[in-house]
Each structure stands twice: as C-alpha cells, then as structure tokens.
Structure 1
Amino acid sequence: MVSDTRLQIHAGWLDSVKRSECEHFDCRPDPNDISLLVIHNISLPPGEFGGPYILDFFAGKLQPHIHPMFEQIYQMRVSAHLLIRRDGQIVQFVGFENRAWHAGVSSFQGRTRCNDFSIGIELEGTDNTEYSAQQYAALVRATHAIVAQYPLINLSRIVGHNDIAPGRKTDPGVSFDWGRYRQQIGFFYNS
C-alpha cells in the first residue's frame, strides 16, 4: 500500500517502493532528454489482477504452459519503468535513467522511438475496467516525483500509449479518467 509521504528519486529509482529489477532495458541515447511520460495498462492473464505474471513477464520468466495467451508472449522482451497495482502498490523494474522497452513502434510530435525519451508507467487494469482510487493516488505521487526530477515533462507531455501508437494500441483505455488525473496533478505545473 502507498503511504501519504512524498516519493523521492535517487539515482533513477523511487525510494519506498518495491523493486523488481529486470534485464529488459538499455541505455538511453541522451539521458538528459527524459521528456515524456506514457501511461499504459496491463493484466496477465487478460482481465485478471493480482498474480505474479506481470513481474514474471518483465523478468522474462513467464511460463507458456500456464495460460494459452502466455504462449504468444512469453518470449517477448518488454518492460516498463513502473507498475501500479490495483491496491496502489508501486513496483519499479527499470531505473528512470535507462530506457525501458514499453512503447514499441511509436511517435510523439514527429519524434519516433518514444522509448528513447520517455518513462513508461503500467497500471494494472484493462481498457474497460475502472481503475482504483489507490491507483490514481499512487500515479499522482509518482508523477510528482518524476516531474520534479525530470522537468522537461510537463502536462502536455503526459500521454497514453494510444496517443503515441494510434491504431496499434488503445491503453490506458476509456476507463482511464484523464480529467480526474489531470485535476489531481494540475496544480503541480505552471503550464
């Protein structure tokens, strides 16, 4: 569960959150160009919450025999910087200074390869399942810490996966309340 204290970032890692370091990352071309925050959703198996499978997936340890869908994805090498569970627990997989592999083929304002300059946050959920109040609270806390550390990210540079990969991705989906989220983080910006 997430407490009410402010999160801090030290050497690219949030303090006071669970770490589940993975090998699915590499160096950013320019570590001074962290300028985009991308919000995703994930559930494994699809529509099921709370199990170990997201952590297994990002660690490259997903077992294909557990679920038919896993047979299609178990060899993929993907990751995100953060996962926010339904109960608000934050798990960090990759330090922000490094490039996580979350965006895939993507473009933002004419720039391709969004992984090069973005931070990826996965919300445990689906496009059509309402996110929990604990997830919004944790997301707001993580956003504040990220923006304080990486000021090139402003309100207009926080997007959904669907925004950078239209037609290919739909997350975080219609269930994500952008108005609620932006209202909760809006006071933090001078935009």
Structure 2
Amino acid sequence: MCLTSDYWLEGVRRLESPNCSERPEDGDISLLVIHNISLPPGEFGGHWIDHLFTNQLDPEAHPYFADIYQLRVSAHLLIDRLGRITQYVPFNKKAWHAGQSVFCGRENCNDFSIGIELEGCDDKPFTDAQYQRLASVTRELRQCFPAITDESIVGHSDIAPGRKTDPGPCFDWHHYRTLSV
C-alpha cells in the first residue's frame, strides 16, 4: 500500500465525500485521530457509513438516522470489520471528523489531522484484520507525514474529552502500537 501523488492510497476503495475542505496554508499534518463508528449503533456491515459520509443517508431507513442524516461529516478512511479500507478524502485535504477539538493547546484538529474510522463501537472488541490494516496504514502515513509521532496518535476521546468516547475501552492501544512500529 502506498500513497499516490494526489494523496490517495493505492489499492483501496475510493468513495469521494463532499464533506471536506482545504487545509490552512500553514497546516502541517501532525496528528492521527482514531475513531469508531457503527450505523445503526452497534450494527456492522451495510452501506450506511458510506451514505453518512456522502450525504445520502435516508432518515427513514432507521429511527436513529432521523437525528443524524443532516450531519456533514467525513473521515479520511474507514476500516471495516474485515479490514477493508474505504478512502473518502485525500490526505492533503481536511476531512470533517473531529468537530470541536483541542490537541496540545491547538484548536480545530481537523486543520492538521488525519481521521481514521474503525467500524466498531465502544463495547465490542475490534478485529485482528482491523488492527493489521490500521497498523499498515499508520506506517505508510508516518513515512509521508513525519510530524505524526507516537505522541500524536490519539483517540477522538483525547481531543474531545467529555464529548466523545471513541475509539473506546475495547480498543487495544498496546496491541495497535506493537503492530505499527
């Protein structure tokens, strides 16, 4: 797996999201944020995450969707339960994944971060395939963006405490860090 000159990963599924924007001119890419997502909550598979990130979520398809279908959000990548990757936003652009957030005193983490969603939830373990792919992607991203250090790989909960809980207590940070060296 490698990065193309237009900041997409080769060999992964590409589904472009309109929910992105240009980074600030001085925007270094120095933060990697790990999230979890499942739609409907606690359910895996299907196309609902794709639909959310591309503004096509049907509010009548599930009661939960009526509250979120108007959100304009995206991540750079999704890694599903089988380890398959979908890329929604090229890495040189700002994906809208972090919301109100702060890292080391810097606000608006979307400006300088890459967001990776793992298909999952706070109370279920992630799969080995997800850890393997996340570690592989992390190694590639760190080669391309050396400002991403061990200390700047965080969970959404770390940059939005009290507002977000993901990737949650079932995410095995030690296992992930061991694989990604």
Common fold by TM > 0.5:
yes
Whether the 8 Å CA contact 1:31–1:97 is kept in 2: the answer is no
Residue 172 of structure 2 is aligned to residue 177 of structure 1: yes
Whether the 8 Å CA contact 2:31–2:152 is kept in 1: the answer is yes
Residue 130 of structure 2 is aligned to residue 135 of structure 1: yes
* Aligned equivalent of 1:36: 31
* Aligned equivalent of 2:97: 102
Pairwise CA distance, 1:46:
0.3
Mapped to 2, the partners of 1:19 and 1:120 lie a distance apart of 15
* Aligned equivalent of 1:25: 20
* Aligned equivalent of 1:164: 159
- Aligned-pair RMSD on alpha carbons? 0.8
Residue 65 of structure 2 is aligned to residue 70 of structure 1: yes
Task: State the identity as a percent.
Answer: 54
CA offsets 1:65-115 (integer angstroms, 9 cap, x no match):
011110000011000000000000000000000000000000000000000
Output the amino acid matched with 2:110.
N
Q: Which runs of 5+ in 1 are unaligned?
A: 1-6, 187-191
* Aligned equivalent of 1:91: 86
Mapped to 2, the partners of 1:56 and 1:111 lie a distance apart of 31
Whether the 8 Å CA contact 1:31–1:98 is kept in 2: the answer is no
Secondary structure of the 2:180 match is helix
Q: Which runs of 5+ in 2 are unaligned?
A: none
Pairwise CA distance, 1:31:
6.4
Pairwise CA distance, 1:30:
3.0
For normalisation by structure 1, the TM-score amounts to: 0.93
Pairwise CA distance, 1:32:
5.3
Instruction: Give the paired residue count.
Output: 180
Query: Which segment drifts farther, 31-40 or 159-168?
Result: 31-40
* Aligned equivalent of 1:8: 2
CA offsets 1:8-39 (integer angstroms, 9 cap, x no match):
00121000100011100000003650000000
For normalisation by structure 2, the TM-score amounts to: 0.98
Mapped to 2, the partners of 1:125 and 1:142 lie a distance apart of 18
Pairwise CA distance, 1:184:
1.2
